[in-house]
Structure 1
């Protein structure tokens, strides 16, 4: 059965996660990693599919730091992309993952690919949903990026936490951002809001610093080198109506070791076509 748990990474940092334990000894540990501004409820359709098909998998669905019920980073931290990879490494070590298969959506897909590139001996398989190459830009943007990131931090420091008009309004906001319907997006919102009795109002749980601009991005050469170093069984799942840049030939032709498949849906295609996505994951894991 599914159990909600919490894992301490340090005295001040904890990771919330959902765990499924099989009746038999686990053959693999499937680790689901959500996208930016989402949380583990982004994978809620898979909970019933995993329970129904009864594979000998141990399944972990994570809330990334600053998201969902996981704690926020310290005051001096602004959620650098590379720190997420270290967070994942700590989680995998602490939960003693057996032959882990990393399954990531969007930001989670990029985190999973970088970890797989660095620690291929410790990963059994990689599934990327609507994400593949880590975000990169030409080094000529370095000054503009640095300036923009500092300005975004200044803006965050001068802003205040705002109340949400209502839970229903929070759902509407996420519907507009994700293009998902109410029933699909509601579990994600439920995990991302909190009711405060002192103010009698709803607030977002996620850390507002998540919206600060990245202070640094790797170059295209760095990104390509990382993906070229992924040698584990590799599946890339793209939504037919998803981000167009992910479907550009200049990227896909470099994924020579990956099996690339398309399913119906937009950027959150795993929520719009959960069974086709799960079926692809099932096929990959059974071949390992």
Structure 2
């Protein structure tokens, strides 16, 4: 894979949202100021990376620098969603995770980054400005959020890359009462009797546990020690008063509660129909076992420019043995549409 000579500039960011939640993020930038000689203006290609459920921005620890080094004049930002990584947690007086709410935090982050203006959040549907467009690269849950954001704000997004994610998880409409019941019961118990985070005696033990957890998910999934280490380092804190290296995860435990609401298949199809930008759909051979009917609907409605399945598991973009191939596909897609 061809890479630029200079290493990208990496910066930690804190983005304060209007609801008081602080979003943590990491930024990778190409060195120097990119200049469009014809227009005599500064031009930067903007890419926003959105991670999966219970992950954090270090899910892109390999993919992000690979993209920035391979493409000219890139500013790439990977977010920690609320309750994940180093971001703040949402207030206890509401549900901790609704997919559509995460779209709000993407919009807040984009404005804080000055990628979109306040006017761009209004009802100017169909308005488009090159200075207010960016690419979304989403993994798993982040891919679902990216789909919904791209559908709701098509004027903001010029390209959409779905990595091991085929849009929002669909559930049958007649099951809505069951989902509400499950969430309410868990929420009442969880609020009344909150549990203390588990303490891990060492980083090694926490990493092993994260790897083991991946194997419990559907399909033949696994997570490499290298990828697990990146996620754990970002998503944990030392235990106060411990001098033995003990740590605990800092994620919002409410993320483990059943969701209050799901999209129906009809709603997911409507989201796909409203996505206007070119898309790439990159899946793993041993990744999440997507429902065949939903996978077919995803391809038929999104009509991805790139649709491929690569060796690896659900986190193949972060595992060193498989990440190169994923990076090559993403870079090829972005390069093709930049020409």
Shorter-normalised TM range = over 0.9
Q: Distance in 2 between matches of 1:38 and 1:151?
A: 25
Q: Look up the match of 2:69.
A: 52
Most deviating of 98-107 and 251-260 = 251-260
Question: Which deviates further from its counterpart, 144-153 or 18-27?
Answer: 18-27
Counterpart of 2:39 in structure 1 is: none
- Alignment of 1:122 onto 2:156: yes
Q: How does 1:3-152 map to 2 (within 5 A)?
A: 3-10=11-18, 12-22=20-30, 23=32, 24=34, 25-53=42-70, 55-77=72-94, 78-97=96-115, 98=131, 99-152=133-186
For the 8 Å contact 2:50–2:78, the answer to whether it is kept is yes
* SS in structure 1 of the partner of residue 110 of structure 2: helix
Larger radius of gyration: 2
SS in 1 for 2:238: strand
1:165 CA displacement: 2.7
Structure 1 stretches of 4+ with a deviation exceeding 6 A read: none
Question: In 1, are the aligned partners of 2:55 and 2:231 still within 8 Å (CA)?
Answer: yes
TM-score by length of 1: 0.93
1:96-130 C-alpha deviation (Å, 9 max, x unpaired)? 22431000000000000001011111111000111
* Superposition deviation, residue 253 in structure 1: 4.3
SS in 1 for 2:325: helix
Deviations 1:188-236 (A, max 9, x none): 1011110132466422111111111111112110111101111201001
Matches within 5 A, 1:228-247: 228-245=273-290
Q: CA deviation at 1:283?
A: 1.9
In structure 2, what is the Cα distance between the partners aligned to 1:265 and 1:8?
36
Q: What is the aligned-residue RMSD (CA, Å)?
A: 1.8
User: Structure 2: how far apart are the matches of 1:104 and 1:173?
Assistant: 25
Equivalent residue for 1:224, pick from 259, 269, 280: 269
Which stretch of the first structure deviates more once superposed, 30-39 or 2-11? 2-11
Q: Which moved more, 1:277-286 or 1:206-215?
A: 277-286
Query: After alignment, is 95-104 or 65-74 more displaced?
Result: 95-104
Partner secondary structure for residue 71 of structure 1: coil
Give the deviation of 1:268 after TM superposition.
Answer: 1.1
Q: How many Å separate the matches in 2 of 1:283 and 1:96?
A: 27
Q: Which moved more, 1:207-216 or 1:94-103?
A: 94-103
Aligned position for 1:164: 199
Q: Which residue of 2 aligns with 1:190?
A: 233
CA displacement 1:28-55 (0-9 Å, x = unmatched): 1011100000000111112442453352
- Counterpart-to-counterpart distance in 1, 2:281 and 2:113: 26
Instruction: Say which SS state the counterpart of residue 38 (structure 1) adopts.
Output: coil
**CA-CA distance at 1:250 after TM superposition:** 3.3
Tell me which of 257, 260, 263 is aligned to 2:310: 263
Structure 2's unaligned 5+ residue stretches are: 1-8, 35-41, 116-130, 215-221
- For 1:176, the equivalent position in structure 2 comes to 212
Contact 2:68 2:75 in 1 (8 A): no
Query: Which ranges in structure 1 are unaligned for 5 or more consecutive residues?
Result: none
DSSP-derived class of the 1:161 partner: coil
1:203 counterpart = 2:269: no
In terms of mean alpha carbon deviation, does 219-228 or 271-280 score higher? 271-280
